[in-house]
Amino acid sequence: MLDPDFIRNNPEVVAKKLDERGYDKNLLYKFINVDKEWRNIKQQADNKRAEKNKLSTTFKEFKNDEEKIKTIKNRIKEIDEEIRKLEEKEKELFERRYFLLLNFPNMHLDDVPIGKDENDNVEIKRYGKPKKTADNVKAHYELPYFDFERAAKISGHRFAILYGEIAKLERALINYMINLHVMNGYKEVWLPHLVLEKCLYGTGQLPKFKDDLYSTNDNLWLIPTAEVPLVNIFREEIIDGKKLPIRLCAYTPCYRREAGAYGKDIKGFIRQHQFDKVELVSITKKEESIKEHEKMLKDAESVLQGLDLPYRVIKLCSGDLGFSSACTYDIEVWFPSQNTYREVSSVSNCLDFQARRANIRYRDKNVYYAHTLNGSGLAVGRTLIAVIENYQEKDGIKIPQVLRSYFDGDFIYF
């Protein structure tokens, strides 16, 4: 959530940022009008309370004048009714104002490239050279490792079943990622997969992305990413500034309807309603989040470097940023069967945007809103595909060196 004072005092800046992100500037004008009306009604209510308090102090002055006392009491009664009506209006306007605030995206940092969509993203660097291409590998879904038909019989479209050594390879990747991140200074966390609605408001999935989420009949929601429960661990808390940064990592399944993704990545294991992910989250002081963002990117990259998989790093343009992000790096791993790089991680700095929504603060000399960062470290299923395709041989899959301790041999045969 944006600071209302910032919006009120910098409308030209906010309008420019909204335009660069592809959002309708009418949101800004609606907020300014409602905010002005709310503050006006609030001031009127405060004035009425002050008038009532002033009248209340005159009882002693006129204690022997029954007519005057009666007049004062009648006026106080009228003021109480006026205050009641003003408070009703104030509450209505506050709720409208708050709803509008919830729909503002984060404001991107000044060094974010300006653009409309993914075509305007900027490549930052590459690691490794692709050795496999569509000419010498089969797509992962052409290999006998995934059972989509029986998964559809159980759960419907966009689900999969893994068996045997490939199921073990998925598990090995999870363990490898978690162990690596713990070595890099993150604390492992085991989490609930169901959260309260307020948690999704806190991290910015609600109200904007409601159609992409799964919910239960008793108002619990399945997590679309471990970012949601990890950030909300500190909801409505004031953290000792000496304990920051707090770095956390967690493995969880993630659940998404992919409501806006029909027709995309229909084949295979790339875009599923349920998928595994290892997530990184940092809670930092406001002056440290830029530096922390670079560290988190480096830590996510280290997973692919250990696996010796070719990848590139992309800096997202303003129009392609996630709703809560002020700056995002995407890490894209090489998919030989498609002769292209595909996203396997997004590493984002949300500044104080989520902390304002979730009321996460820290105490230093004063009390400040914390800055939150999150990143996939990594999306396990897509990393699994990258391993299967980049390490594909004629008779099966060669196991990457860093994963061989989980297996009896160094090869998975077809």
Give the DSSP letter string of 253-314: EEE---TT-TTSS-STTSS-SEEEEEEEEEEE-GGGHHHHHHHHHHHHHHHHHHHT--EEEE
When pLDDT is cut at 50, 70 and 90, the band that residue 67 belongs to is confident
pLDDT of residue 199: 98
What is the β-pairing status of strands 411-413 and 396-398? antiparallel
What are the extents of the domains in the chain?
Answer: 4-102, 118-413
Per the listing, tokens 């939150």 go with: 372
Residue of 183, 299, 331, 189 whose CA lies nearest to 249: 189
- pLDDT > 90: percent of the chain: 92
Judged against a pLDDT cut of 80, whether residue 265 lies above it is answered with no
Establish how many alpha carbons lie within 13 A of residue 66's alpha carbon, considering only the half-sphere containing its beta carbon: 0
Give the integer Cα–Cα distance in Å for 222 and 161. 20
Per the listing, tokens 């022997």 go with: 64
- Residue-wise pLDDT for 97-129, tens only, equals 999 999 999 999 999 999 999 999 999 999 999
377, 351 contact by CB (below 8 A): no
When the candidates are 1.20.140.10, 1.10.287.40, 1.10.10.1100, 3.30.1600.10, the CATH number that belongs to 4-102 is 1.10.287.40
Q: Please, which residues bridge with residue 126 across strands? A: 312
If residue 150 lies in a helix (H) or strand (E), which one and from where to where? helix 148-155
Judged against a pLDDT cut of 90, whether residue 200 lies above it is answered with yes
Convert 358-368 to b/e letters by CB count within 10 Å (16 or more is b): bebbbeeeeeb
DSSP state of 397: E
Q: Compute the mean pLDDT over every residue in the chain, rounded to the nearest whole number.
A: 95
Give the integer Cα–Cα distance in Å for 357 and 157. 34
Verify whether residue 361 is a known catalytic residue. no
Judged against a pLDDT cut of 80, whether residue 259 lies above it is answered with no
Catalytic member of 256, 356, 357, 361:
256
Verify whether residue 257 is a known catalytic residue. no
Choice between 414 and 148, residue whose per-residue pLDDT is larger: 148
Catalytic member of 39, 96, 271, 342:
271
Residue of 146, 143, 141, 247 whose CA lies nearest to 189: 247
Give the integer Cα–Cα distance in Å for 22 and 108. 12
When pLDDT is cut at 50, 70 and 90, the band that residue 86 belongs to is very high
> 43-52, 65-74, 80-89 — which is least confidently predicted?
65-74
Give the integer Cα–Cα distance in Å for 25 and 14. 9
307, 180 contact by CB (below 8 A): no
Per the listing, tokens 């390490």 go with: 391
Verify whether residue 256 is a known catalytic residue. yes
Judged against a pLDDT cut of 70, whether residue 260 lies above it is answered with no
324, 204 contact by CB (below 8 A): yes
pLDDT of residue 258: 82
CB atoms within 10 A of CB 255: 19
When pLDDT is cut at 50, 70 and 90, the band that residue 407 belongs to is very high
Whether residue 207 is preceded by a cis peptide bond, meaning omega within 30 degrees of 0, is yes
Give the integer Cα–Cα distance in Å for 165 and 144. 11
Per the listing, tokens 């295979």 go with: 268
Catalytic member of 289, 346, 348, 376:
346
**CB proximity list for 387: less than 8 A, separation 6 or greater:** 169, 173, 307, 309, 397, 400, 403
Catalytic member of 21, 97, 356, 382:
382
When the candidates are 3.40.50.720, 3.30.70.60, 3.30.930.10, 3.30.1380.10, the CATH number that belongs to 118-413 is 3.30.930.10
Choice between 144 and 403, residue whose per-residue pLDDT is larger: 403
Catalytic member of 8, 197, 343, 404:
343
Task: Average the pLDDT over 240-268 and give the result.
Answer: 87
Angle at 86 between CA 84 and CA 91, to 5 degrees: 95
When pLDDT is cut at 50, 70 and 90, the band that residue 266 belongs to is low
CB atoms within 10 A of CB 106: 24
Choice between 72 and 260, residue whose per-residue pLDDT is larger: 72
- Residue-wise pLDDT for 177-199, tens only, equals 999 999 999 999 999 999 999 99
CB atoms within 10 A of CB 81: 11
pLDDT of residue 262: 58
> 52-61, 175-184, 322-331 — which is least confidently predicted?
52-61
Judged against a pLDDT cut of 90, whether residue 72 lies above it is answered with no
pLDDT of residue 68: 84
DSSP state of 350: -
Verify whether residue 88 is a known catalytic residue. no
- Residue-wise pLDDT for 218-229, tens only, equals 999 999 999 999
- Residue-wise pLDDT for 297-317, tens only, equals 999 999 999 999 999 999 999
pLDDT of residue 404: 97
Give the integer Cα–Cα distance in Å for 255 and 8. 37
Verify whether residue 343 is a known catalytic residue. yes
pLDDT of residue 414: 87
